[in-house]
Chain A
Amino acid sequence: MFPSDRRYTRDHEWARVEDGRARVGIAAFAAERLSDIVFVELPKVGAEVQAGQAFGVIESVKAASDLYAPLSGRVVEVNQAVIERPEAINEDPHGAAWMVVIEMSDPKEWESLLDAEAYAALVGELQS
């Protein structure tokens, strides 16, 4: 259920490294939990984000939640398509509905993220 080509935070974001940069989105579990996502607020290209700090907001009909950066660095790409069509996050959270690409400032942070197996275990606990 959770692709093993990336790592995850305990707050349900994912990050996948591509040519030294990290593409970031939210995990299907979170998208499903939020359900009916209608709004997303993302930083601008050039913004600096800090691992563990909020970098955006995602809103479902029911509630607003912060998005937490899995890694520190500078935002080099923002997915305008999800800003314009937030419901895409419910449809394809691990694929087309990525949110930002981060130029990592501290690649060591990668090691502290959960691999797919550890993340699946965390989700299992939350579901039980």
Chain B
Amino acid sequence: MTAAAALRRTPLHEAHRAAGGRMAPFAGWELPVQYAGLVEEHLAVRSRVGLFDVSHMGEVAIEGPGALSAVQRIITNDAGRLREGEGLYSPMCNPAGGVVDDLTLFRTGHAEYLLIVNAATRAHDVAWIQEHASPARVRDLSDEVALLALQGPRAAAVLEAATGASLAALPAFHRSGGLMVAGVGVAVSRTGYTGEDGFEIASAWDEAPRVWEALVEAGRAYGLALVGLGARDTLRLEAGMMLYGQDIDETTTPLEAPLAWTVKFDKGDFIGRAALERQQQEGVARRLVGFEAQGRAIPRHGCAILAGGARVGAVTSGTFSPTLRRPIGMGYVPRAAAGRGGEIEIEVRGALVPSRVVRLPFYRRAREPAGQATEG
């Protein structure tokens, strides 16, 4: 990152400053890393409710004749089964099966789809989608759409208070337009990046501060916390969710990452299919696994992973888990070392830290009623 002047700001910049948000560069944006403190914010989302500004995320519409076949070509998951208002998570791959980006997709109309993509990859994604979506129409709505995330066991109560509407009929990975918060029209999806029940709330860019203020106000009675990027990362890591550019990228495939469930070979052709089919038949050489490390030193991105004394891989994400109170991480290891319970070592500042391969996710919320089919 170079000059601060080059950083983009979300419509909530002033609100973050006023709330004591510590701003830092992220993917070309100036965003709050934390407000009251990372661990406090993290635990608020696990036990109560947290509000995030994720307006840096990109929104891309694919519309018109050929929209479904364009979507099916671009993503590995199967959008063919989606009814209007339903969505899914999917990677989008290159011909080698490498992940170009991971995204959330909703069917917003008969022949209308909306893709929520990562900020860092937005420009590349738009070009990629345009290249492969013809004859469907592709529109980059990222500059017009602000996005907030409201996450935690009390998120539904807060959003119901703010909208005056019941959200009982909005299951996971469903999206509904036509709701109002503080007189502002919003579209709400029951999605998130924390492992908790929660919502992502889209509004017109300039109207986001009114929505934000109304949610903060409605959340007061529920112990709502403002949550920055720091806790966003620890929450998603505990939930075993991939961070694009770190855990997955163009050199890794969904089959190596724990995303095989998003690759639907029975839906017809898609970009990367042949390569992924071959990899499926031959078996992957490496897998992304979760691990828990002994002691308190934290394995970070880039630390070497050793198995049987040999360097076999590297940590893609690592942190101190605020919920489990121990260091956790993920990284790619050869299939032979990827079995659950397997003993590995992580090299942290020259010292080898004994670690154990564990099941992902590290954290799973208490079971919800039916309809909470999330990934994995």
Once the chains are docked, how many angstroms separate the CA of A62 from the CA of B297? 12
Give 1 or 0 for each of B318-332: 1 = CB within 8 Å of chain A CB. Answer: 011010000000000
Identity of the chain B residue whose Cβ is nearest the Cβ of A60 in the assembled complex = B38
B171 sits at the interface (CB 8 A): no
Task: Report whether B234 and A39 are in contact in the complex, using a CB–CB cutoff of 8 Å.
Answer: no
Size of A's binding interface in residues, CB under 8 A:
13
Shortest C-beta distance, B208 to chain A (Å), equals: 26
- Contacts A39-B298, A64-B300 given; indicate if A59 touches B320 (C-beta within 8 A): yes
Task: Report whether A36 and B296 are in contact in the complex, using a CB–CB cutoff of 8 Å.
Answer: no
B267 sits at the interface (CB 8 A): no
Q: Which of B234, B298, B322 has the most CB of A within 10 A?
A: B298
Identity of the chain B residue whose Cβ is nearest the Cβ of A86 in the assembled complex = B296
B37 sits at the interface (CB 8 A): yes
Give 1 or 0 for each of A17-47: 1 = CB within 8 Å of chain B CB. Answer: 0000000000000000001101101000000
Identity of the chain A residue whose Cβ is nearest the Cβ of B300 in the assembled complex = A64
Task: Report whether A38 and B298 are in contact in the complex, using a CB–CB cutoff of 8 Å.
Answer: yes
User: For A39, what are the chain B residues with a Cβ–Cβ distance below 8 Å?
Assistant: 296-298, 320
Shortest C-beta distance, B1 to chain A (Å), equals: 16
Once the chains are docked, how many angstroms separate the CA of A38 from the CA of B297? 8
Interface residues on B, range: 10 to 19
User: For B234, what are the chain A residues with a Cβ–Cβ distance below 8 Å?
Assistant: 61
A118 sits at the interface (CB 8 A): no
A121 sits at the interface (CB 8 A): no
Interface residues of A in 52-75 (CB under 8 A from B): 57, 59-64
Identity of the chain A residue whose Cβ is nearest the Cβ of B36 in the assembled complex = A35
Once the chains are docked, how many angstroms separate the CA of A64 from the CA of B319? 10
Contact among A35, A38, A63 for B296, CB-based, below 8 A: A38
User: For A35, what are the chain B residues with a Cβ–Cβ distance below 8 Å?
Assistant: 34, 37-39
Once the chains are docked, how many angstroms separate the CA of A62 from the CA of B34? 10
User: For A61, what are the chain B residues with a Cβ–Cβ distance below 8 Å?
Assistant: 38-39, 230, 234, 298, 319-320, 322
Task: Report whether B297 and A36 are in contact in the complex, using a CB–CB cutoff of 8 Å.
Answer: no
Shortest C-beta distance, B302 to chain A (Å), equals: 11
Interface residues of B in 213-259 (CB under 8 A from A): 230, 234
B33 sits at the interface (CB 8 A): yes
B124 sits at the interface (CB 8 A): no
Once the chains are docked, how many angstroms separate the CA of A36 from the CA of B38? 7
Identity of the chain A residue whose Cβ is nearest the Cβ of B348 in the assembled complex = A64
B139 sits at the interface (CB 8 A): no
Shortest C-beta distance, B276 to chain A (Å), equals: 35
B349 sits at the interface (CB 8 A): yes
Task: Report whether A59 and B38 are in contact in the complex, using a CB–CB cutoff of 8 Å.
Answer: no
Task: Report whether B297 and A59 are in contact in the complex, using a CB–CB cutoff of 8 Å.
Answer: yes
Once the chains are docked, how many angstroms separate the CA of A63 from the CA of B39? 13
Identity of the chain A residue whose Cβ is nearest the Cβ of B33 in the assembled complex = A62
Task: Report whether A57 and B320 are in contact in the complex, using a CB–CB cutoff of 8 Å.
Answer: no
11 contacts between A and B (CB under 8 A): A36-B39, A41-B297, A41-B349, A57-B349, A59-B296, A60-B38, A61-B319, A62-B230, A63-B300, A64-B298, A86-B296
Q: Which residues of B are interface residues toward A (Cβ below 8 A)?
A: 33-34, 37-39, 230, 234, 296-298, 300, 319-320, 322, 349
Give the top 7 A-B pairs by smallest Cβ distance, nearest first.
Answer: A39-B296, A36-B39, A38-B320, A61-B320, A35-B37, A36-B38, A61-B38
Q: Which residues of A are interface residues toward B (Cβ below 8 A)?
A: 35-36, 38-39, 41, 57, 59-64, 86
Give 7 new A-B contacts, CB below 8 A, not counting A41-B297, A61-B298.
Answer: A36-B37, A36-B38, A39-B297, A39-B320, A61-B319, A61-B320, A64-B300
